[in-house]
Chains A and B, each alone.
Chain A
Amino acid sequence: AQSVTQPDIHITVSEGASLELRCNYSYGATPYLFWYVQSPGQGLQLLLKYFSGDTLVQGIKGFEAEFKRSQSSFNLRKPSVHWSDAAEYFCAVGAIDTDKLIFGTGTRLQVFP
């Protein structure tokens, strides 16, 4: 069965520092991978997605993610975090055979000034 693991429940960084949020997936075929962000009191918003091709994908708000098939990972990165990036981040994998989007449990990002 498909699954997504986000090992870090909570991450704290200083404003201006770099960020990497981890995501590991389990899926037999080539996955479709997504990162969503949920700001406090808001719904989820798509940050970026990977379907095929270049393994480094760029998203909105200065985020990028890299697909590494050998490590079954799709980590999210940002070179310099802003206070407004404080939110919860969800990794998801699209399972084409079942047409389902499987979400991880999320990583809460806290940003200190």
Chain B
Amino acid sequence: ETGVTQTPRHLVMGMTNKKSLKCEQHLGHNAMYWYKQSAKKPLELMFVYSLEERVENNSVPSRFSPECPNSSHLFLHLHTLQPEDSALYLCASSQDFGRVATGELFFGEGSRLTVL
């Protein structure tokens, strides 16, 4: 079992669809993150959860809705997306929040999203 698992690995959706990305970590970490990776751009931090509470929301459009039901699971609910939202969405975890800048992030393999 890998440390951070993301499903689905690939997703194609229309602009009117509703879908969700799932992330599960088996590392016993307390903090989980969603990043967006677009070509030629730095990784963009979208959301951070610490002990199931959202502690960071980096001006992300409301068409992205995160959910963290427990410290091992993180979801990203998607609705009425735009073509420019097509990207690789990476989930990561760390032992604790408050140590992002000093600690190690463990990443999943990502969910490749294509919005038509």
Which of B14-22, B61-69, B72-80, B105-113 contacts its partner?
Answer: B105-113
The answer to whether A100 touches B107, judged by C-beta atoms less than 8 angstroms apart, is: no
The answer to whether B45 touches A100, judged by C-beta atoms less than 8 angstroms apart, is: yes
**Taking chain B's interface residues, is the majority helix, strand, or loop, or is none over half, making it mixed?**
loop
Interface size on B, residues (CB 8 A): 21
**Taking chain A's interface residues, is the majority helix, strand, or loop, or is none over half, making it mixed?**
strand
The answer, among A49, A90, A102, A106, for a CB contact under 8 Å with B104, is: A49
Which of A11-19, A36-44, A61-69, A70-78 contacts its partner?
Answer: A36-44
The answer to whether B101 touches A101, judged by C-beta atoms less than 8 angstroms apart, is: yes
Given A90-B43, A103-B42, also A44-B105 (CB < 8 A): yes
Contacts of B40 in A (CB 8 A): 9, 105
In the complex, A46→B45 CA distance in Å? 17
Interface size on A, residues (CB 8 A): 24
In the complex, A96→B102 CA distance in Å? 7
For chain B residues 1-15, which have a beta carbon within 8 Å of chain A? 4, 6
Contacts of A81 in B (CB 8 A): none
The answer to whether B43 touches A95, judged by C-beta atoms less than 8 angstroms apart, is: no
Interface residues of A (CB under 8 A from B): 4, 9, 32, 41-46, 49, 51, 90, 94-96, 98-106
Interface residues of B (CB under 8 A from A): 4, 6, 40-43, 45, 90, 92, 97-102, 104-105, 107-110
